[in-house]
Structure 1
Amino acid sequence: MSNEKSQIELFQTGENFYSQRYFGSHQVIHGEQEGYTFRVWAPNAQEVWLVGDFNNWDRSLPMEKEEQFGVWKIFTQRAKEGDFYKYLVKQIEGRELYKIDPFAVSFEKRPNVAAMVQTIPEKKWRDDDWQNQNKRSNHFKRPLTIYEVHASSWQCEADGTPYTFKKLKDTLIPYVKKMGFSHIEFMPLMEHPLGESWGYQLIGYFALSLYYGTAAEFQEFVETCHLNDIGVIVDWVPGHFCINDDALAYYDGTPQFEYTDPIQAKNIRWGSLNFDLSKPQVQSFLISSALYWIETFHIDGIRVDAVSNMIYLDYDEGPVLFDQEGGNRNWAGFYFLQKLNAVIKRTHPEVIMIAEESSSETKITGTVESGALGFDYKWNLGWMNDTLRFYAMDAVFRKYNFHLLTFSFMYMMNENYILPLSHDEVVHGKRSLLHKMWGDRYKQFSQLRNLYVYLMTHPGKKLLFMGSEWGQFLEWKSNESLEWIDLDDEMNRSMQYFTKTLNHFYKMEKALWELDHSSETIEMIDADNNEETVLSFIRKGKEKKDFLIIILNFSPIERQNFTVGVPFQGTYEEVLNTEMKEFGGTWIEPNQISQTRKEPFKQFDYQIQTIVPALGAIILKPKVINTRIKRIKNQFSEKIR
């Protein structure tokens, strides 16, 4: 069997995970002639022509069809590197449309959509130490603090154009390193025709948007991140695609990439089309895209957008669909995601796979063999919604709604969670995180610091959207730079310094991430103090002495002589206080070291007293403790069980 035929057959059976190496434009030697071969999958097209800069966009380059599999191809010496091109497709009913190359690795700058003849040169990577470290270590047991970035609006030039990756390499990377984030997550970087879609309406699944620079510049950016111990995650959208006539939509005049059922094909909520994930050719196309980004750009993780839309038939607006048994499961999407994760874990087990998924009916994280979808992490959107609703609430009513803060502890180990304070929560009239906080400006900053302590000490990995680290007051605007002018204000500067301090504190304290996805990582001290609206718990590392005591006060009343139970006799010192003056608060001195008293507090044999600032949070750490004294109550309770 020829290599070409095997490539096509693998594509047809859903097993060609490098299909971009066959389809698209490729520089080749054909006999003794050097030129380019173009291939496109359009099984029901009547005719296809290659048109571009090299033939004045006329019909002088008709493509030949391989009848069995519906692949059109042509070899030409007329095309050259950097030329723009499209396919003129005569569809099944005779309509002629200029279409993009679905496998193109570069396009002209939006809003134009012609593909570019481009060969991405092989890069000699210098990030071996980073890659080897990731392969040796377990990301579940490492700190993970993600800085979510929209590349078009982090910073812009004076004329409003966004920084390209060439400039982001010299600005964003030092900033992220200074601020103490472990990873950058980019909203989609693939080619999309409309900036207002934020990249979630894709046309080019193999192409970095030229708006952000060249593929080589992005490779340099990722490499520099790795040399600075920063990982890179990208958002990816395999569920739905741009409905534009000149892109993937009804490519050959039939439902080629989309579902045959027009109701299932149309995505009303987002004005797009849903991929038919049962088609083996679509599976080859999408899995090839994911592996292309991982291998071409050394990406450390992929966040799959809108997973609920892929696994449920009734997620969208409009008519409700059911499976053969009357349920709402989209089995095509379910099995595709299992296949995607299985392929990536087989080839790149160190790559982090993240699901943005909003239901609780399907096991998302865990092995495919266990029946889960195979993701490493799931965004905890329930935690996010409950938490932000609580912090926006007038403090008077918080004691009646304390469950909004404590409910997440009931299900926190059901999945491997990432706790997201993402772009979706600071746009479309939802207000910025700072603006959501109850009270005057001082109280808003106090509560934002409190919120970030709650985020960083709650089990689960962390994500924060750009601009939130200093408390930008205005909503995020996708077509403008962040409000960096805010940092002229002392309160914003102090907030930024607090976030930086908290990030570095989190990285240093193993108790906050070493056992993150084990129930052993946390012990509640008091989750029932709704009257004072104070929450207290312990986060633990592997070593018995490695633990932190977290106390969060959600009321505007300072709690004097506040009592909490502790596991061991000894002394405890304050290691973080959100109300210190350097962070924007009013405290000049931290709490004094606390000495235990031999008095029971719930399940604990010892207790300490301290002061908890109004709308503030403190973290205590054992200074000198005796871990050899046994906890009689725990021993007794073990005997009862």
Structure 2
Amino acid sequence: MNTPVSEDHIFPDAELLALAEGHHSGPHGVLGQHPLDEEGTTAVRVRRPLAKSVRVVLEASGRTIELEHLAHGIWSAVHNYGLDDYVIETTYEGGETYTTDDPYRFMPSVGDTDIYLFGEGRHEQLWKVFGAHVREHYGTHKFVQGTSFAVWAPHARAVRVVGSFNSWDGAQHAMRRLNERGVWELFIPGLGAHETYKFQILSQDGMWIDKADPMALHAERPPHTASVIAQPSQHEWGDGEWLAHRASTDPHNQPMSVYELHAMSWRPGLGYRELADELITYLNGMQFTHVEFMPLAEHPFGGSWGYQVTGYYAPTSRLGSPDDLRYLIDRLHQAGYGVIMDWVPGHFPKDAFGLAEFDGQALYEHPDPRLGHQADWGTYVFNFGDSQVRNFLVANALYWLEEFHIDGLRVDAVASIIYRDYSRDEWLPNKDGGREYYEAIDFLQEVNATAYKLNPGIVMIAEESTSYPGVTRATDEGGLGFGLKWNMGWMNDNLRYIAKDPIYRKWHQGDLTFSFVYAWSEQYILPISHDEVVHGKGSMFSKMPGDDWQKAANMRLFYSYQWGHPGKQLLFMGQEFGQPSEWSEDKGLDWWLLENDTFSGIQRYVAALNNLYRSTPAMWELDNDPAGLQWISGDDSQNSLLAFVRRDRSGGALAAVFNFSNHSLEGYELGLPSGGAWDEVLNSDDLAFGGSGVTNDTLIANGAPAHGHGQSVSLRVPPLGATFLRRR
């Protein structure tokens, strides 16, 4: 039976008004169903402004309970049938009746363990709890399909969910605050995937602000800024063999020749799925071992190339859905290619819909602008000392590794993270008066240690531009814990050297050889990245001196030295065929240049380098061990010549000779560590690559001692060229 309503005295008018207007911080404490005694007496309250009549229909008994209006559109009834699943029937003045479920009858969809782990800053799968998730959630007697929402907003007075499903009226979907940490939650029954939404946050100063979900798994395509309720993944992975092999090997001592690309402009118009076919076909010809995607997380401004992220958990919708990206990575793995992604945990943009002042004041960013503002990029810097912010970032790294099977993360701008004074005139010293950002260093150690522990075989890569010690040293030894570091010193020195006219190079031999002084101080990648071919720096081709033939020869020589030098390699798209124009994200690469033998010759040579590299353990097996290199000649500055032997663990040897002068060296006596036959396995001056044809047949090392070695060969060394000799 229905018990007469007499609840209007229980709730102050101000509280009912707050419920009606959607700024109550605990709506579930009033709305929904609530037991009043142990005998089954139950109160039901709902928010239905402008309704003519409201009733609830109990599922177990089929009984209908008429509700009476309290105030401000809040309706209530008391019945004696106990807690039950129910629906709400609402009739309006026009006679229309709508039947809906009640989001306020459900227990929290965020569990106590999740709240505890997040409070400790140790929730390693945070993306499964926060954000929006289509799921089943238990009501009173059964599970109900719907979408759960959870967000962290500790400074908020109230939080609401607004979206396409409620005509962007957040008053009907106010969230409840679960704890003092500021976790807010709401389960909306019957709500499914693909709807757009935002969180509407009431700040301490009384302003409502609309924010995209920091942990949305999908987002609208820019310039639109709403989050999207993601469809639960339907992708069935087929890369089990790849992952098993990855887990059993050490990537730091395996071949790694990386092709860096900007997915949106490699071949404009291709989505993730179309990229799979075309990129794999291209890689099969070029034989790189890995691809590295510039950031794929959602970002509002295409001109940032993805380095100003607003959706850290949302693959950019410019190219398709999250499952489309899974498909691309799966296909790359099955074709034998590793996948690295750029990750940007150092800073984020100030867009009003994003992380900036998320709940009305500094939350993700450090509140002191001397630490929280990065003037170079006009961005905010994460508050690395906050446990929840660090949890957000650590979990984000794990998200990409686990949910998308990414093989490695290249961490952007590490120097800007670890130094408090990075590009700042005014900065805040640490507790010891120094410039090191201890909390940020702790964060990097945590993310690296956790990533390696949970994902065997992955690699964490630092773009770190200073001489900070121990970037690739283990965290338990005080290092940052990265596996590899971009060798920016090598890049700067060698680009400066190769740009010089060959007649002047003999006075700058030190630029060429200095990298060997510190070659094993860290575990390195040698990068020619996008940063070297933008903002007026010109392309690699344009950096080279001389006419087009000399430019092409210099490029083949430079790449020979890059591949022969200890360390992994990285080359940005377009440079593998010598694109003369500077890269722009607004257009695709100049693929038409491959009709010209000058550029197709460069491309064929890079493919040949990769094939030699893949098949020659001496070029990578001891990258991180001085025993992997033996000098032949490092001081022949008169001839601008450099020569050394690369070795593998089983005794295999490859001699590499580089002539940076513009004249050939006929009959050059080259010392070698052992006698016998040495085959020329690759020569950058081969006619097949557009060279002049100064090559060698098989060489027999039986000459007089030279360069400190007991044997020598008489060798033809091509102008602006390199030759690789393998001991038979």
Shorter-chain TM-score bucket reads over 0.9
* More displaced 10-residue stretch of structure 1: 40-49 or 182-191: 40-49
Pairing 1:61–2:166 present: no
Paired residue for 1:426?
Answer: 533
Paired residue for 1:39?
Answer: 150
Pairing 1:457–2:564 present: yes
User: Out of 240, 247, 260, which is 1:148 matched to?
Assistant: 260
Paired residue for 1:638?
Answer: none
Of the two, which has the highest radius of gyration? 2
1:292/1:122 CA distance change after superposition, 3 Å: farther
Paired residue for 2:690?
Answer: 584
Determine helix, strand or coil for the equivalent of 2:521. Answer: coil
1:214/1:510 CA distance change after superposition, 3 Å: same
Instruction: Measure the CA separation in 2 of the matches of 1:36 and 1:550.
Output: 61
Paired residue for 1:547?
Answer: 653
Instruction: Measure the CA separation in 2 of the matches of 1:481 and 1:598.
Output: 52
Superposition deviation, residue 412 in structure 1: 0.4
Instruction: Measure the CA separation in 1 of the matches of 2:162 and 2:706.
Output: 78
**8 A Cα contact 2:246 2:456, kept in partner:** no
**8 A Cα contact 1:55 1:78, kept in partner:** no
Superposition deviation, residue 177 in structure 1: 2.0
Superposition deviation, residue 278 in structure 1: 1.1
User: Out of 615, 620, 625, which is 1:513 matched to?
Assistant: 620
Paired residue for 1:619?
Answer: 724
**8 A Cα contact 1:243 1:273, kept in partner:** yes
Superposition deviation, residue 234 in structure 1: 0.6
Paired residue for 1:471?
Answer: 578
Paired residue for 2:331?
Answer: 224
Paired residue for 1:437?
Answer: 544
Instruction: Measure the CA separation in 2 of the matches of 1:68 and 1:592.
Output: 77
Amino acid at match of 1:250: E
User: Out of 594, 601, 615, which is 1:494 matched to?
Assistant: 601
* More displaced 10-residue stretch of structure 1: 77-86 or 392-401: 77-86
Superposition deviation, residue 3 in structure 1: 6.8
**8 A Cα contact 1:100 1:247, kept in partner:** yes
Instruction: Measure the CA separation in 1 of the matches of 2:703 and 2:281.
Output: 49
Q: Deviations over 1:578-603 (max 9, x none)?
A: 1111101121x731333334522232
Pairing 1:503–2:614 present: no
Superposition deviation, residue 362 in structure 1: 2.5
Instruction: Measure the CA separation in 2 of the matches of 1:316 and 1:112.
Output: 32
| Structure ranking higher on relative contact order (CA contacts 8 Å, 6+ apart) | 1
Pairing 1:50–2:156 present: no
Superposition deviation, residue 323 in structure 1: 1.4
Q: Deviations over 1:9-38 (max 9, x none)?
A: 211211011111111112232404432221
Paired residue for 1:18?
Answer: 125
User: Out of 299, 315, 326, which is 1:208 matched to?
Assistant: 315
Q: Deviations over 1:346-386 (max 9, x none)?
A: 11121111111011123110211111111100000000011
TM-score normalised to structure 1 length: 0.94
Amino acid at match of 2:610: N
Paired residue for 1:322?
Answer: 429
Paired residue for 2:51?
Answer: none
User: Out of 93, 101, 112, which is 2:224 matched to?
Assistant: 112
Paired residue for 2:491?
Answer: 384
Paired residue for 1:159?
Answer: none
Q: Deviations over 1:98-121 (max 9, x none)?
A: 111111000000011100111332
Instruction: Measure the CA separation in 2 of the matches of 1:552 and 1:602.
Output: 15
Instruction: Measure the CA separation in 2 of the matches of 1:203 and 1:441.
Output: 43
Pairing 1:293–2:397 present: no
Superposition deviation, residue 485 in structure 1: 1.1
Determine helix, strand or coil for the equivalent of 1:393. Answer: coil
Instruction: Measure the CA separation in 2 of the matches of 1:138 and 1:49.
Output: 47
Superposition deviation, residue 183 in structure 1: 0.5
Determine helix, strand or coil for the equivalent of 2:444. Answer: helix
Pairing 1:402–2:509 present: yes
Paired residue for 1:129?
Answer: 241
Determine helix, strand or coil for the equivalent of 2:627. Answer: helix
State percent identity of aligned pairs.
Answer: 38
User: Out of 97, 100, 104, which is 2:209 matched to?
Assistant: 97
Q: Deviations over 1:301-343 (max 9, x none)?
A: 1111111111111112331332122211000110000011111
**8 A Cα contact 1:600 1:606, kept in partner:** yes
Determine helix, strand or coil for the equivalent of 1:407. Answer: helix
Amino acid at match of 2:710: D
Instruction: Measure the CA separation in 1 of the matches of 2:378 and 2:527.
Output: 25
Superposition deviation, residue 78 in structure 1: 5.7
Paired residue for 1:603?
Answer: 708
**8 A Cα contact 2:127 2:215, kept in partner:** yes
Paired residue for 2:98?
Answer: none
* More displaced 10-residue stretch of structure 1: 230-239 or 566-575: 566-575
1:81/1:68 CA distance change after superposition, 3 Å: same
Determine helix, strand or coil for the equivalent of 2:331. Answer: helix
* More displaced 10-residue stretch of structure 1: 196-205 or 308-317: 308-317
Paired residue for 2:678?
Answer: 572
**8 A Cα contact 1:120 1:216, kept in partner:** no
Q: Deviations over 1:34-93 (max 9, x none)?
A: 322211111111121111101111132222222422112222236331110011111121
**8 A Cα contact 2:109 2:186, kept in partner:** no
**8 A Cα contact 1:421 1:465, kept in partner:** yes
**8 A Cα contact 2:703 2:713, kept in partner:** no
User: Out of 383, 398, 411, which is 1:276 matched to?
Assistant: 383
**8 A Cα contact 1:268 1:318, kept in partner:** no
Paired residue for 2:100?
Answer: none
Instruction: Measure the CA separation in 1 of the matches of 2:378 and 2:669.
Output: 55
Pairing 1:312–2:447 present: no
Instruction: Measure the CA separation in 1 of the matches of 2:248 and 2:482.
Output: 19
* More displaced 10-residue stretch of structure 1: 32-41 or 371-380: 32-41
Determine helix, strand or coil for the equivalent of 1:9. Answer: helix
Determine helix, strand or coil for the equivalent of 2:415. Answer: helix
1:78/1:91 CA distance change after superposition, 3 Å: farther
Paired residue for 2:62?
Answer: none
Instruction: Measure the CA separation in 2 of the matches of 1:348 and 1:75.
Output: 32
Superposition deviation, residue 445 in structure 1: 0.1
**8 A Cα contact 1:54 1:78, kept in partner:** no
TM-score normalised to structure 2 length: 0.83
Amino acid at match of 2:631: M
User: Out of 226, 242, 247, which is 2:354 matched to?
Assistant: 247
Mind listing any 5+ residue stretches in structure 2 that lack a counterpart?
Answer: 1-107
**8 A Cα contact 2:109 2:187, kept in partner:** no
RMSD (CA atoms): 1.5
* More displaced 10-residue stretch of structure 1: 312-321 or 54-63: 312-321
**8 A Cα contact 2:145 2:190, kept in partner:** no
